[in-house]
Amino acid sequence: MDSMLQKLEKYADNLENIVQQRTAELYDEKQKTDMLLYRMLPKYDFLIILRFRSVKSFQDRIGEKWLCILSIVSDFRLFL
């Protein structure tokens, strides 16, 4: 019975080590992704994604930009 408990403890410790390692890898990849986005996007858009951690809110913002552009173009055409 003691050997079984020792095996379970060893297994649990091993799992904890794996989780810590994968968490560190995930954090490193997140940092790389943030740097890539920072280089690719306008600063304001990057800060929105960084703040909300959601691409959906970024997509909504892009949609708002297109609506503004379309309304300006259509208003301009009506003006002519």
* pLDDT one-digit tens code per residue, 25-63: 999 998 898 888 888 878 877 777 777 765 555 556 655
In the 8-state DSSP scheme, what is residue 53? -
Per-domain boundaries in the chain: 1-40, 42-80
**Residue 17 pLDDT class (50, 70, 90 cuts):** very high
Lowest mean pLDDT among 1-10, 32-41, 66-75: 66-75
Flag whether the pTM goes above 0.85: no
> Does 78 or 60 have the greater pLDDT score?
60
d(CA 70, CA 80): 16
CA angle 71, 38, 23 (to 5 degrees): 125
Alpha-carbon span 49 to 59, nearest angstrom: 10
